[in-house]
Chain A
């Protein structure tokens, strides 16, 4: 199993352990970061177990076409798009 190089929240330790055990998904640390983005948009963390969350994340990434490519520039572009979307988010009162 490839050692994880990116850590996120301590509270998600179980989830990340689970994801680490999926060799197809841990070839690139960038994927983990994108999975984190997918996780936040696709699943309420508290209400699902780790495996269910991982399935939701993979589905989300597949739907977004992110699993089809591991090219660094494409991954970087996807991350840039996510950052732009976050920064340009409307607030509840807008």
Chain B
């Protein structure tokens, strides 16, 4: 039986098969109203997926629309999640019938405290069982027999700690503490892992993802009479991090605007991390992951042995694809 990993990130789902480091990226922007407006290099998809949602036939277009939803109710069976999950399945499986196990990576906030079990129950009501859908005119029946739900930063820990067979590959014992800073598009997630398990009091998330910074850039550019989307702003940030220069598609030099926005975000992010970890420097290493990880590197000197993971956008999914090979299924 195949095991599918889906990292339910806000801007795009990252999906892989257990034991395979090839990660597919499914844009999480989706429309059921026939909109064709697209932004950014990763959204040039016109994939269509049809399925039945609460008795209604839905045809959704993947990678279409202005923004993706950012609320956590999305993750318990909303039609947007269903459409992108089916696109993820179709990116890994041939048409026809399949039985699979599913590893789901979700933001740490939904796995905090007493709400964690409720969330997982709701997620399982969506995920477990038979899913019938048509993707680009090809028919699929995917039956999910088991699920594992893990916080996204755990994927980074596995990516760093495990070899391709899912075995521990580090000289450092797993009993030490390992910190993870996961800078996603919507959230900044933190966790400290000890003996393979997150330490609850050192685990937290905040709405301080890259989109927080993108909003500032969009508004500042609007003040200059330059209209861009939040996705365009994300591209500007990436350009700035890589080359310290950035220009809009219309040729406007946005370098100074981006440069002046970053310290504000950095202060907020650093304050959040300090509140959560309280000057605790017991972690052996601090792993930086998520699409915004290169930004975090600018504040990582505060933390012990920071390591920027290779290809941080997909690192969580790759790590869980390693982990899913282990005997962790009931």
Contact = CB atoms under 8 A, between A and B. Distances in A.
Interface of A: 8-11, 33, 36-37, 40, 79, 82-83, 86-89, 91-94
Contacts of B111: 91, 93
Given A10-B282, A40-B194, 4 more contacts: A37-B175, A79-B173, A82-B175, A89-B197
Contact of B168 (A9, A33, A37, A87): A87
Nearest to B149: A93
A50 to B, nearest CB: 18
Nearest to A33: B173
Interface stretch (B47-55, B72-80, B113-121, B295-303): B113-121
16 contacts: A9-B282, A10-B281, A10-B282, A40-B194, A40-B195, A82-B173, A83-B168, A88-B196, A89-B195, A89-B196, A91-B111, A91-B198, A92-B200, A93-B116, A93-B117, A93-B119
Pairs of residues from A and B, 5 with the lowest C-beta to C-beta distance, nearest first: A86-B196, A93-B116, A86-B195, A86-B174, A93-B120
Interface residues of B, number: 27
Contacts, number: 57
B222 interface: no
B197 A37 contact: no
A87 B282 contact: no
Interface in B151-168: 162, 168
Contacts of B150: 91
Contacts of B281: 10
Contacts of B148: 94
B327 interface: yes
Contacts of A11: 282
Contacts of B197: 86, 89, 91
A92 B327 CA distance: 18
A36 B176 CA distance: 9
A77 to B, nearest CB: 14
B116 A87 contact: no
A83 to B, nearest CB: 5
A33 B111 CA distance: 31
Nearest to B110: A93
B226 to A, nearest CB: 45
Contacts of B174: 82-83, 86-87
Interface string B116-134: 1101100000000000000
B326 A87 contact: yes
B119 A88 contact: no
Contact of A88 (B173, B282, B328): B328
Interface in B193-218: 194-198, 200
Contacts of B168: 83, 87
B171 to A, nearest CB: 11
Contacts of B177: 9
A33 B282 CA distance: 16
